[in-house]
A = this chain, B = another copy of it.
Amino acid sequence: MTAITALTNTQIRLASRPVGLPTQDNWRITSEGVSEPGPGGVLVKTHFLSLDPAMRGWMNEGKSYIPPVAIDAVMRASGVGQVIASNNPAFAVGDHVSGGLDVQAYCQIPGDQLKRSGLVKIDRRLGTPTQWLNVLGMPGMTGYFGLMDVGQPKPGETVVVSGAAGAVGQTVGQLAKIKGCRVVGIAGGKAKCDWVVNELGFDACIDYKAGDVKAGLKEHCPKGVDIYFDNVGGEILDAVLTRIGRGARIIICGAISQYNNTTPVKGPANYLSLLVNRARMEGIVVFDYADRYHLAVAEMAAYLLDGRMKSKEDVVSGLEAFPQTLLKLFNGENFGKLVLKVADE
């Protein structure tokens, strides 16, 4: 093995805050040496990084559920990798781990930052590294707790999920099927729609690029929508609001249609449907459920292993590809959970 001090760390840093879609100018690639971890610290070699819509929000200035990424800081990202040096008894060299590794080849985590980084060992028998960033990672946890805790699905109810072929959407739809619900996806393009129906077992999927979402909802949700898991916001949220049933629950997980707006966010004009239908719209932030991740991981890993749940990752190689790869999330190009491969295992 190469000596640690001989390694070079490549990093993607935030150079400026984007207006609208991020461009190459918003990023800067830097290199620096790698040092041995300090007392209680751990050094992780990154294998895969998770690319998420939420990243766009972290690039903005201003208060949100976590602080923005500072200018000149390494871009925040979750990832999986392997411990290559450790001064902490909780982690041994060779351990497979996941946590906040950021967009870089190596992640030096000081002892007092370990908790904050969320670094945990992962059991490779339960899933592949990219599944640990997908169904068993943040998107999976988001889908699980959003659907189960906020949505509270009952057998026979109709669940609609937007971004159906994305990381959160695939988890939500499959989990809702396992829980006995009728599941209707909304996705962009025939390939994605066919996949969620034919491969993942959704009851139907509406191609928002091909036609009228309202008409599709009317056709595929004849009893109305009981749960809507919203990843996109905008016009699709407004369309679903016209089809919700009494006591419906709308989980606000994201609004990818609005993240790169240079005009104000479009609020849901049909929100008074909440009143007419005694319905609820509620936001979810996955970090609130950290003390129950292990329970959700155990359940979802069982579904992966017994074949009731499938996962699809869209893997792009090379740390330097980060800036243009991130854009795939916003133009709808990614098909499955978008993952950046940084190094071979």
A272 touches B233 (CB 8 A): yes
A225 to chain B, nearest CB (A): 15
Which B residues lie within 8 Å of A272 (CB)?
233, 252, 255, 258, 265, 283
A22 close to B (CB within 8 Å): no
Query: Would you call A283 and B276 a contact (CB within 8 A)?
Result: yes
List of B residues within 8 angstroms of A282 by Cβ: 274, 278-281
Given A276-B285, A288-B278, verify A252-B269 contact (CB < 8 Å). Answer: no
Q: Which of B65, B268, B273 contacts A271 (CB 8 A)?
A: B268
Quick one: which of A172-210 are within 8 Å of B by CB? Answer: none
Of B64, B258, B269, B275, the contact of A285 (CB 8 Å cutoff): B275
Residues A269 and B266 in contact, CB atoms below 8 Å apart: yes
A118 at the interface (CB under 8 A from B): no
A226 → B minimal CB distance (Å): 15
Residues of B within 8 A of A342 (CB): none
Known: A275-B284, A279-B283. A238 touches B267 (CB 8 A): yes
A266 to B270, CA, bound (A): 9
Q: Is the CB of A285 within 8 A of B278?
A: yes
Give bound CA distance, A267 to B64, whole Å. 21
Residues of B within 8 Å of A238, CB to CB, are 267
Contact of B274 with A270 in the complex, beta carbons under 8 Å: no
- Distance (whole angstroms) from the CB of A210 to the closest CB of chain B: 25
**Interface: A264 (CB within 8 A):** yes
| Interface assignment of A253: CB less than 8 Å from any CB of chain B | yes
A299 to B307 Cα, complex, angstroms: 56
Contacting residues of chain A (236-263) with chain B, CB-CB under 8 angstroms = 238, 252-255, 258
Q: Which residues of B contact A283 (CB under 8 A)?
A: 272-280
Shortest Cβ distance from A262 into chain B, in angstroms? 14
- Chain B residue nearest to A66 (CB atoms) is B276
Find chain B residues with CB under 8 A from A271 CB.
252, 265, 267-268, 271, 281
Bound Cα distance A265, B276 (Å) = 15
A270 touching B265 in the complex, CB below 8 Å, given contacts A64-B276, A65-B276, A253-B275: yes
Contact of A284 among B270, B278, B284 (CB under 8 A): B278
Q: Which 5 A-B pairs have the closest CB atoms?
A: A267-B267, A275-B283, A274-B283, A267-B269, A280-B282
**Chain A to chain B contacts (Cβ below 8 Å), 28 pairs:** A63-B276, A64-B276, A65-B275, A233-B272, A252-B271, A252-B272, A252-B274, A253-B275, A255-B272, A258-B272, A264-B269, A265-B269, A265-B271, A266-B269, A267-B268, A267-B269, A268-B268, A268-B271, A274-B281, A274-B283, A275-B285, A276-B285, A278-B284, A278-B285, A280-B280, A280-B281, A280-B283, A281-B282
